[in-house]
Structure 1
Amino acid sequence: MAGVIVFDGVCALCSRWVRFLLRFDRQQRYRFAAMQGTHGRSLLQAHGLDPDDPLSFLLLEDGRAWTDTDAIVRVLVGLGGPWRLAAVLRAVPRRLRDPAYRVLARNRYRWFGRHDRCHLPDAGQVGRFLD
């Protein structure tokens, strides 16, 4: 069963992250739900995250939920190949990793920009998006 990544569909950095994953996730291990959509919003709420003020990255996989840097590292390792080296990031304590991630999340629009609408997948990728 594919994991589900909930992402900010209007965030330029987040959209680049999704495009990166679409390119390197050759086994199609992940599906995507924009937090602005019905599925993404309900998944955030179901896991105690505010869909109107999301500062968290959410990965749902194998019946569990991961957030922030734990989710990012898990996704990268899940890509396989050289991306598995991202596992070394687990050596950095979460109490250091997650605050750095939150600074990035709070400033993502200012630093990387914002789109007027969510990323639209091409015809070959549409099945990987929940909304």
Structure 2
Amino acid sequence: MKTYIVLFDGVCNLCNSTVQFIIKRDTHNQFKFSSLQSEYGQNFLKERNLDSSDFKSIILYEPEVAYYTKSTAALKIAQNLGFPYSLLSVFLLIPSFIRDWIYSLISKYRYHLFGKKDSCMVPTPENKRKFI
């Protein structure tokens, strides 16, 4: 079974809700999580020469294979959650510049629309093993 690491903006309410959504539907226990603000997240960004202060994209990391950002990351997560969420992978047929434009628009206004926490979420004791 493959393991994927989802890196997310730890203070974003939309991102935190997305993580909770994934956890509830991860029946094969294949996803681990880390905030982009954490030591792991910061090291990940720096090792790949990515901006370590720009948290406008979720990142899906498939160790030893690749990492994906923005809409591709979101759709590949859905693809790995099984039916019916895997049906969303059909949107991978749309060119990424179109998908990412929509993703970036939502990302730009996410704090305004969904709110922001003062600090990163703390995982519940039952979910702690899923976080890096």
Instruction: Indicate the TM-score class for this superposition, using the shorter chain for normalisation.
Output: over 0.9
Q: Percent identity?
A: 30
Matched, 1:102 2:101: no
After superposition, what is the alpha-carbon deviation per residue over 1:70-99, rounded to whole angstroms, capped at 9, x for unaligned? 111110010112111011111221110001
Alignment size in residue pairs: 130
SS in 2 for 1:98: helix
- How much does 1:51 deviate? 2.2
Unaligned runs of 5+ residues in structure 2 are none
In 1: Cα distance, 2:35 partner to 2:44 partner? 10
- How much does 1:102 deviate? 1.1
Matches within 5 A, 1:65-104: 65-104=67-106
Contact 1:33 1:39 in 2 (8 A): yes
Matched, 1:10 2:28: no
In 2: Cα distance, 1:67 partner to 1:58 partner? 5
Residue identity in the other structure for 1:56: S
Matches within 5 A, 1:16-31: 16-31=17-32
Q: Where in structure 1 do 4 or more consecutive aligned residues deviate above 3 Å?
A: none
When the two chains are superposed, the root-mean-square deviation of aligned CA atoms in Å is 1.2
SS in 1 for 2:121: coil
Contact 1:45 1:51 in 2 (8 A): yes
- How much does 1:100 deviate? 1.1
Contact 1:49 1:56 in 2 (8 A): no
After superposition, what is the alpha-carbon deviation per residue over 1:86-124, rounded to whole angstroms, capped at 9, x for unaligned? 111112211100011111112211111001121111111
Contact 1:47 1:65 in 2 (8 A): no
Contact 2:59 2:73 in 1 (8 A): yes
Unaligned runs of 5+ residues in structure 1 are none
Matched, 1:129 2:125: no
Matched, 1:117 2:119: yes
- How much does 1:44 deviate? 1.9
- How much does 1:45 deviate? 2.1
Contact 2:8 2:55 in 1 (8 A): no
Contact 2:32 2:131 in 1 (8 A): yes
In 2: Cα distance, 1:3 partner to 1:100 partner? 24
In 2: Cα distance, 1:120 partner to 1:86 partner? 29
